[in-house]
Structure 1
Amino acid sequence: MRRLLILRPEPAAGRTADKAARRGFDVLRHPLFAPLPLDWSAPPADGFDALLLTSANAVRLAGPGLADYRALPTYAVGAATAAALHEGGFAEVICGEGDASAIAARIAADGHRAVLHLAGTTVAPMEAGPLRLTRIAVYTMACLPSDPALLRDATPGAILLIHSPRAGERLAECIPLDGRSALHIVAISQAALAACGSGWASLSAPHKPVDDDMLALALSLCE
């Protein structure tokens, strides 16, 4: 049974862990960050054509102000964000299947231009095209202290899942260059992969930035 270390924040780490366990991995969770809400002021909804969320954390941590936008056409970058919006009382959500640039293109194709984007303090690169984005940070990712158990649990042959460039940078800080040669990295994107640095046994990223494709890559390392 191949060991898999999940480094993304909770509660998303739990969802990934459940999927990985069903695929037969020995799963351990070592979140590198924790999401924390920020104070923000909700601008009037009538100033926007559509609402965009690119993180389930933004849905969970936006607070009561999010409800002001339930009447707007609402777009989610992926299934997890869409599910969080449904749980938050949004009846109709258009769900993307790619990255933030793909859902931005869908919003533009639907004829919207003035878009409110509720997000974290750091966001993945996004091609906005003709959209006029108003981005408001409603949460931040707080860096957790280094956990000595991460080094202990990263045994030779283990696979580490990296879900953001910032997580890749943090991992590179936590595991020294001389401790990487027997560890495999599966990252959600090429940017996240590059942030991990060098010296790893292998580095790979899926064509689509989704959990299932990351786990498929991890499974291929077990063959």
Structure 2
Amino acid sequence: MTDGLPLIVTRPEPGNAATVERARAMGFDARSMPLFTARAIDWRPPAPGDFDALLLTSAFAARLAGQGLAELAALPVYAVGNATARAAEAAGLTVAMTGSSGAQRLLDDMTSDNIHNILWLCGRDRSEFDTRGAAITALPCYAVDPAPVPAEWDALIAAPALLLAHSARAAERISQLVGDARAHLSLVAISPAVAASAGDSWRDLAIAEQPDDVAILAQARALWHKGEK
């Protein structure tokens, strides 16, 4: 489909391999270029009775939280994106709502339903958002650390390419690594917040309609077809 134009997938594993496989099935020349690695960190689950709900904004929280997650199984889960919801269900949790427009919109829906005491199982490095007056306890259970830049990176970004940014930190690092020479590169962000972190001056900057892998690849395909015209 892309006539050799590479699609650069920067997210950590195991998501990277899943995205590359899905992209190649769509006809992309997908390249695995993970810029981060995810790992579990020590954490202690609090008493679930102190909270109304569990907020998950990344599938890593469900995948890497470990045995302590079982102690929170009584809490309904509010998950950002289908991948996070599926990871939560695979970990034995009950998903009450899956947000399709990012963490801020999901939190708005939660507070509208009078859910105010929220446990946010999250990463060590995380984006902030307006709490809308809710009492949110952020509890890191994993870390996402920068990985060494892949050896093929410089050669790939020297020519026209499509890049995927699955997080604000990924967008920031991509922007830093690319520098000012980006007018030949196109970037697809998984959310408006991620797009804002990418900066400007790209050949094209597009945003997925929903914060999940299917939507970001659909937007990448639309961007490619736009470029063909």
1:200 aligns with 2:199: no
Structure 1 counterpart SS, 2:45: coil
Distance 2:113 2:66 in 1: 28
Distance in 1 between the 2:205 and 2:140 partners?
Answer: 31
Kept in 2, the 8 Å contact 1:6–1:30? The answer is: yes
Do structure 1's residue 74 and structure 2's residue 77 form an aligned pair? yes
**Alignment gaps of 5+ in structure 2:** none
- Asked whether the 8 Å contact 2:206–2:223 carries over to 1, the reply is no
Q: Which residue of 2 aligns with 1:113?
A: 116
- Whether 2:110 is the aligned partner of 1:128: answer no
Q: What are the equivalent positions in structure 2 for 1:22-171 lying under 5 Å apart?
A: 22-154=25-157, 156-171=159-174
- Look up the SS of the partner of 2:224 in the other structure: coil
Conserved? CA contact 2:80–2:98, under 8 Å: yes
TM score, norm. by length of structure 1: 0.90
- Alignment correspondent of 2:12: 9
1:7-59 Cα offsets, whole Å, 9 max, x none, are 01111122222322222111111010011111112111111111111111011
Q: How many pairs are equivalent?
A: 222
- Kept after mapping to 1: 8 A contact 2:168/2:193: yes
How far residue 104 of structure 1 moved from its aligned partner, in angstroms, is 1.3
Distance of 1:6 and 1:76 partners within structure 2: 23
Which stretch of structure 1 is more off in the superposition, 87-96 or 160-169?
87-96
The structural deviation recorded for 1:76 is 1.2
Distance of 1:84 and 1:149 partners within structure 2 = 31
The superposition leaves residues 191-218 of structure 1 with CA deviations (integer Å, 9 ceiling, x where unpaired) of 3233334443222223433333322221
Q: Secondary structure of 2:101's match?
A: coil
In 1: Cα distance, 2:94 partner to 2:55 partner: 15
If the length of structure 2 is used for normalisation, what is the TM-score? 0.88
2:60 corresponds to which letter in structure 1? N
Which 4+ stretches in 1 moved above 6 angstroms? none
Letter in 1 for 2:148: P
Identify unmatched segments of 5+ residues in structure 1. Answer: none
Superposition deviation, residue 173 in structure 1: 2.7
Report the Cα distance in structure 2 between the residues aligned to 1:199 and 1:92, rounded to whole angstroms. Answer: 39
Moved more, 155-164 or 88-97: 88-97
Change (3 A) 1:137 1:27: same
| Closer, same or farther: CA 139–127 of 1 in aligned 2, 3 Å | same
SS at match of 1:222: helix
Cα RMSD between the aligned structures?
Answer: 1.9
Return the letter of the residue paired with 1:188: I
Partner Cα separation in structure 2 for residue 190 and residue 49 of structure 1: 28
